[in-house]
Amino acid sequence: MSVDNMLERRRWLLILFQCMGWPMWVCASNIALPNDSASDFKRAVDERSTALDFLKTTTVLSDISTISVYSEIDYVTPRAWQKKPYVANIVINTPVPIGGRWFRIPHHGVYFAMQIHPDFMVRILQNDPAKGDSSLPVRTPSFKPGITFFVTCNRLWNTGDGKPKHYFGLKIYHHSNGQDGYHIAPDGYWNRYNGDFSDNVIYEFIYGGFSGNKVKPVESEVMRLGSGRTSVAYNYYWKGLFSLHPPSGLAPEMRQYHIYGYYRTSAQAGFIWAPYYQDYVFNRSTKLRKPNGAPVRKEVFRIYATVEYIWDEGLNTGAVQNLSRVKMYDITKRMNAALTFSARIPGTPFAGLFLQTGYYASDPYNVYFEQSVLFLRAGLSIGYFVNDMNADKQKGRLNIGF
């Protein structure tokens, strides 16, 4: 009998005996776990710990959100679409993580985690009187709600210190802009003023992983001041995705003219610098340092690159009256790439400052998908950064996980 079943049976027996008026010490003395259940108990504890670690890791590795205000520089093509710098460009990717020690298959070493995505993108434009703007308009915000399922197993996750850990995932989400205007504008391009955009369902198949260095102690005189970095710790992480945008979920004109990509692959690779820190109490008379609490890990910065490529063979570009076929190797119309640097603000686990640059061959901002843009932006970043806040509750051992 498994330890989980035995503990559950014990709990119900205790409730029954309490109802019968039996004293608790009698119940406890007569319902003891057999000695041979010790290994089952340890396995159950390890599995629950792994499930919790899996949830925490997938949360930390989720994409950060960015908010830039009057800090974006864009170079847009077609050039006639060039706009003034945005008042604000807001990309919210912060998921709601669901999981923990119960998200597993007991005794099989299989672990799960989930994320619910209330994602959206908003660009607030500067007024352009030539186009009728008068109130800092928001042109067709992007709504991208969805859900992601993650799964791994002992063979992929409990690989030992310093060895890569792996997982798989499936993300399902919707992309629309809440507008109901006509699709094709008189100039032959998609209506960028109030055109309806809806990518009804998108499937992303994910493979990801991360690895870290073996923790190395750091000796520094700064510890004499009361606290300091005690060890070097960093993580590399990566993920590859295949995205399927079924044509049946797109507007008829998107399918008719094939001006939107159905099949895409993307890859992301990143680096997180998050050393361990230790608080000390320094005795001036004995010249000794006494640790105060357990070491804690705090993220200093992360940097990551993302690349996406559109693989549709029959992809077209241009106005519908004069379409041209996009060559398979034409990265100016098929490749989106970005490099992001984010530094956590000391004192908070959720906020940082970011700098991002990149090129979108197909702008991901809904009705602007026919636009290409070279950009540079900076501002506030939001995410689940590595930051141990309760030092006294830490195990006190150093490892490469989060």
Q: Are residues 91 and 15 in the same domain?
A: no
Query: Does any domain span residue 401?
Result: no
* 19 compared with 387, residue with greater pLDDT: 387
- Averaged over 82-88, what is the pLDDT? 88
User: Which residues span the domain enclosing 308?
Assistant: 34-393
Q: Residue 27 is encoded by which pair of tokens?
A: 């119940």
The average pLDDT across 18-28 equals 48
Residue 125 lies in a domain: yes
3-state SS of the chain is: CCHHHHHHHHHHHHHHHHHCCCCHHHHHHHCCCCHHHHHHHHHHHHHHHHHHHHHHHHHHCCCCEEEEECCCEEEEECHHHCCCCCCEEEEECCCEEECCCCCEECCCCEEEEEEEEEEEEEEECCCCHHHCCCCCCECCCEEEEEEEEEEEEHHHHCCCCCCCEEEEEEEEEEEECCCCECCECCCCCECCCCECCEEEEEEEEEEEEEEECCCEECCCHHHHHCEEEEEECEEEEEEEEEEECCHHHCCHHHHHHCCCCCEEEEEEEEEEECCEEEEEEEECCCCEEEECCCCEEECCEEEEEEEEEECCCCCEECCHHHCEECCCCCHHHHEEEEEEEEEECCCCCCEEEEEEEEEECCCCCHHHCCCEEEEEEEEEEECCCCECCCHHHCCCCCCCCC
Same domain, 15 and 129: no
Please tell me the distance from the alpha carbon of residue 51 to that of residue 46, in angstroms, as a whole number. Answer: 9
Q: Which residue has the higher pLDDT, 129 or 243?
A: 243
Q: Looking at the structure, do residues 123 and 135 belong to the same domain, yes or no?
A: yes
Both 201 and 128 in a single domain? yes
Could you tell me if 107 and 241 lie in one domain? Answer: yes
Do 23 and 144 sit in the same domain of this protein?
no
**399 is a domain residue:** no
In a domain, 93, yes or no: yes
168, burial (CB in 10 Å: exposed 0-12, middle 13-18, buried 19+): middle
One domain, residues 26 and 149: no
Examine residue 402 and state whether it is found in any structural domain, yes or no.
no
For residue 342, what pLDDT is reported? Answer: 98
Whether 17 and 86 map to the same domain: the answer is no
For residues 2 and 88, membership in a common domain is answered with no
The 10s digit of each residue's pLDDT in 303-339 is 999 999 999 999 999 999 999 999 999 999 999 999 9
Using CA atoms of 369, 371, 374, 377 in order, give the dihedral in degrees to the nearest 10: -60
Q: What is the mean pLDDT of residues 275-280?
A: 81
Question: What was the pLDDT predicted at 139?
Answer: 84
CA atoms within 13 A on the CB side of 152: 27
Q: Is 115 exposed, middle or buried (0-12, 13-18, 19+ CB in 10 A)?
A: buried
Domain count across the chain: 2
Does 56 lie in the same domain as 24? no
Q: Label residue 389 by pLDDT band (50, 70, 90).
A: low
Confidence of residue 350 (pLDDT cuts 50, 70, 90): very high
For 380, phi and psi rounded to 5 degrees? -95, 135
pLDDT tens-place string over residues 164-175: 999 999 999 999
Based on the domain organization, do 159 and 255 belong to the same domain? yes
Domain contains 252: yes
371 is a domain residue:
yes
Mean pLDDT of the chain: 86
User: Do 25 and 121 share a domain, yes or no?
Assistant: no
Judge whether 179 lies within some domain: yes
